Amino acid sequence: MVAPNALVVGTVTLIYDHHTRLLPEKLTDLQHEHHHVIISTLHAHLDHNSCLEVVVLRGKSKDVQTLADLLISTKGVQHGRLVMSSPQTAAHHH
Amino acid sequence: MVAPNALVVGTVTLIYDHHTRLLPEKLTDLQHEHHHVIISTLHAHLDHNSCLEVVVLRGKSKDVQTLADLLISTKGVQHGRLVMSSPQTAAHHH
Amino acid sequence: MVAPNALVVGTVTLIYDHHTRLLPEKLTDLQHEHHHVIISTLHAHLDHNSCLEVVVLRGKSKDVQTLADLLISTKGVQHGRLVMSSPQTAAHHH
Amino acid sequence: MVAPNALVVGTVTLIYDHHTRLLPEKLTDLQHEHHHVIISTLHAHLDHNSCLEVVVLRGKSKDVQTLADLLISTKGVQHGRLVMSSPQTAAHHH
């Protein structure tokens, strides 16, 4: 429904155990490779093991979706969800 | 499906125009009234007018849901969405 | 010491009482007027009254300093401090 | 000047190259070991290599200072600075 080149904003919420082997490194590497669509990332250390991370994204719909898919499908991520604004809304603001 | 007293974590993503009369004040007031279920809030100024705000939540399912509903239904919010982890996941981590 | 046009990154930490009349509005307005030097802002509701806000900045030294001065000197801000990276460091990374 | 058990709030700003061997892991591990004094952490990917991280802290002065020292002195951190509110301010709010 959203054109691949439409400008969107969104968030990806991730919950994971930071002790999972190489998981934090993989998530960080993915974010740096795609840093042009990331505004910033908020990390909450929920307890000794688990983290909630929210990545705030802005860019072309296809690039935001690609990064979200990569992050959410990384082995060890327990819960992941993309929230993306409609292009109408984003267009209205730019 | 989620028991009202189950412990959950989640995020609420909000997109709005910060020039909407009294809107930023209302959102801030709501967050302070419910600060016991808020870890922190990330705010991105998208341009001169529009904001993306992500509120990171932790608490009882019913309290998280109540605050999310209040924020998302505040007049002037253009896009709002709650992402909440299942109690199984949260229980597994606490 | 830092050339006014040198590219820098930094943070401004602010502590204030969100009930102070018009203070949250003033801080939000200042940030939107200067949104081109702001990456994002993290807000922690410390209790029913007080907030800690961290504004992450990137831009020309003079612009970052100007916004920091405006935020820190806003009436009602109880504690404010700018941390800014040296231009050498910033240059090294860009 | 600040009593070791006084309650304080503060931020630690860190700038580093995320490619430095094991650095992101060390910073994440330190934060999880001390998660009881961390509210949350904001991470901005400045470019392909460098990061700015702001850790928001609340707790006893001595615990906040200890974690700040550990983070700032981690090998590879290029710039690190603690901003901590006076206990008077913190006490005034709690």
Query: Which residues of chain B does D56 touch, with a Cβ-Cβ cutoff of 8 Å?
Result: 40
Q: Is A90 exposed, middle or buried (0-12, 13-18, 19+ CB in 10 A)?
A: buried
CB pair distance less than 8 Å for C40 and B44 = yes
Contacts of C42 in chain B (CB under 8 A): 40-43
Name C91's Cβ contacts closer than 8 Å, sequence gap at least 6.
C6, C7
Question: pLDDT tier at A1 (50, 70, 90 boundaries)?
Answer: low
Cβ within 8 Å, pair A39-C40? yes
Rg over alpha carbons for chain C, rounded to the nearest Å, is 14
- CA distances to C14, C43, D39 from D57, rounded to whole Å, are 13, 12, 6
pLDDT in tens, D39-48: 999 999 887 7
CA atoms of B61 and B67, how far apart (whole Å):
10
Complex-level ipTM:
0.87
In tens, the pLDDT along A4-50 reads 999 999 999 999 988 888 898 899 889 989 999 999 999 998 877 88
Checking if the pLDDT of D89 tops 60, the result is: no
Give pLDDT tens digits for C47-89: 778 899 999 999 999 999 999 999 999 999 999 999 999 644 4
Q: Which of B17, B1, B9 lies closest to B59 in space, CA to CA?
A: B9
C12 pLDDT band (50/70/90 cuts)? very high
Distance CA C11, CA D47 (A): 17
* pLDDT given for residue B19 in this prediction: 84
C-alpha–C-alpha distance, residues C52 and D9, integer Å: 8
B18 vs B93: which has the higher pLDDT: B18
Largest interatomic CA distance in chain D: 43
Q: Give the mean model confidence (pLDDT) for residues A43-59.
A: 90
Task: Give, in order, the Cα–Cα distances in Å from C17 to each of A54, B78, C77.
Answer: 26, 28, 8
Q: How far apart are the first and last CA of chain C?
A: 20
Q: What is the pLDDT of residue C93?
A: 41
Residue to substitute from C8, C52, C57, C94, interface D, most D β-carbons within 10 A: C52
Using an 8 Å Cβ cutoff, are B41 and C45 in contact? Answer: yes
> Are the beta carbons of D42 and A41 separated by less than 8 Å?
yes
SS3 A87: helix
Distance in angstroms (rounded) separating the CA atoms of residues B91 and D37: 22
Tell me the residue ranges of DSSP E strands in chain D: 7-17, 38-45, 50-60, 77-84
> For residue C1, what pLDDT is reported?
66
Q: Could you tell me if B56 and B38 are in contact, meaning their C-beta atoms sit under 8 angstroms apart?
A: yes
More confident residue, A89 or B50: B50
Crossing angle between the packed helical segments A61-72 and A23-33, to the nearest 10 degrees: 170
What's the confidence (pLDDT) of residue D90? 44
- The two three-digit tokens of residue B20, written as one number: 């909407």
Q: How many residue pairs bridge chain C and chain D with CB atoms within 8 Å of each other?
A: 77
Chain C closest CA to A38's CA: distance in Å? 10
> Which residue matches tokens 């809304």?
A89
